């Protein structure tokens, strides 16, 4: 059995036909991506996407919907990523905040501008998430549950008992 996929979250934010993107250095290249990153130990998916958006863009993200769950395998590296994307709004931008290591700035770009810059996208997930957003794909936040082992055991006991 191969390595487990990295579990990541991403924020898709649209304002007036433009999407929030971060520009970051990855393996010696400058690429574009949604504010996104790995889920940390003991962190819920919602906590992770809020934290990652703040750290990478200096915006406060308020998730409104689950946009989708995407499994992508990078052919070049062989590594897999499981991305849970959320759509929502941002507020309270802090222009003086230090951004995560590797992030050089944020941009509000149209879908057409991103398609024109397709060679600079971190992965195909960037446009796929935007296309799903534009197609109206939305799931309620309640579709995401965070259970620890004790909560799962308790739920099972309640159903059985």
Average pLDDT taken over every residue of the chain: 89
66-125 pLDDT, tens per residue?
Answer: 999 999 998 888 888 899 999 999 999 999 999 999 999 999 999 999 999 999 999 999
What does the pLDDT read at residue 150? 54
What does the pLDDT read at residue 156? 44
Residue with tokens 């941002």: 90
Q: How far is CA 69 from the centre of its chain?
A: 10
Confidence of residue 152 (pLDDT cuts 50, 70, 90): very low
What does the pLDDT read at residue 94? 93
Q: Which of 37, 23, 19 is nearest to 87 (CA)?
A: 19
What does the pLDDT read at residue 145? 75
Domains in the chain with CATH codes? 6-160 (3.90.79.10)
Alpha helix ranges (H) inside the chain: 45-57, 111-116, 125-134, 149-160
20-51 pLDDT, tens per residue?
Answer: 999 999 888 999 999 999 999 889 999 999 99
């Amino acid at each position: 059995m191969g390595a487990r996929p990295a579990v990541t979250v991403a924020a898709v934010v649209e304002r007036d036909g433009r999407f929030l993107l971060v520009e970051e250095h990855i393996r010696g290249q400058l690429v574009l991506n949604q504010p996104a990153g790995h889920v940390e130990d003991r962190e819920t998916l919602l906590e992770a996407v809020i934290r990652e958006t703040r750290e990478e863009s200096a915006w406060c993200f308020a998730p409104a919907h689950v946009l989708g769950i995407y499994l992508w395998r990078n052919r070049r590296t062989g590594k897999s990523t499981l991305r849970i994307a959320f759509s929502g709004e941002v507020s309270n931008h802090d222009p003086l905040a230090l951004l995560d290591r590797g992030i050089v700035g944020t941009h509000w770009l149209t879908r057409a501008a991103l398609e024109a810059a397709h060679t600079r996208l971190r992965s195909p997930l960037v446009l796929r998430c935007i296309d799903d957003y534009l197609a109206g794909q939305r799931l309620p936040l309640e579709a995401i549950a965070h259970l620890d082992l004790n909560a799962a055991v308790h739920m099972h006991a309640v159903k059985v008992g």
